[in-house]
Amino acid sequence: MNYFRDVSALHNVLAVLYRDAPSEARRATLARFLEEWGFTPEQASLRGEQEGAVGSWLSTMKETWTFNVDLTYEHKTERYDSSITTGPFFQSSYSRPTASVQRGIWAPPDWIRDQWDLFVMSSNGFARQMKLEWIDNANCDYRACLIDGQRFGRE
């Protein structure tokens, strides 16, 4: 069986199918293509159908690091989970914001390099080393950095 190695390849196939095949023939054309790709006829003909209530779930997360000049820091993670359900007889919605904040002290390294090894210690005594690297420091563009390999933008 063959696999799509990335989402863009699958997207391109579906876009061509949507553009070139008439709407009533798209399902059969896709099934035929999947069979040629190595799927069994049963696998290629599987399809989803939906009846009843419509709903959606959304979960967003915002993570921020603030390093102050007095060598204190704040690491905040904010998450918003929400759900909306509509049906023929009722509608409901749900929202739950949560936040966690960690504060402590930080210390810069004793050298100047492209990648910094920062020392951070939270107020509850948890200490660790983390790597900070500016993304485009060759052009003096300090709008984004990597903290332990995760990209952060400057606000």
Same-domain status, 89 and 124: yes
pLDDT digits (tens, 9 = 90+) for 123-136: 999 999 999 888 87
Residue type present at position 34: L
pLDDT reported for residue 65: 92
pLDDT reported for residue 54: 67
Same-domain status, 101 and 64: yes
pLDDT digits (tens, 9 = 90+) for 15-50: 888 888 888 888 888 888 888 878 888 887 776 554
- Which comes out higher in pLDDT, residue 119 or 40? 119
Same-domain status, 23 and 58: no
What crossing angle do the helices spanning 26-37 and 7-20 adopt, rounded to 10°? 140
- Which comes out higher in pLDDT, residue 121 or 26? 121
Number of domains in the chain: 2
Domain that holds residue 63: 54-153
CA 26 – CA 49 distance, rounded (Å) = 15
pLDDT digits (tens, 9 = 90+) for 79-108: 988 888 776 666 777 788 899 999 999 998
Same-domain status, 68 and 39: no
Whether pLDDT at 141 is above 80? no
Same-domain status, 148 and 81: yes
Same-domain status, 138 and 75: yes
CA 113 – CA 47 distance, rounded (Å) = 55
Q: Does some domain include residue 107?
A: yes
3-state secondary structure of 134: strand
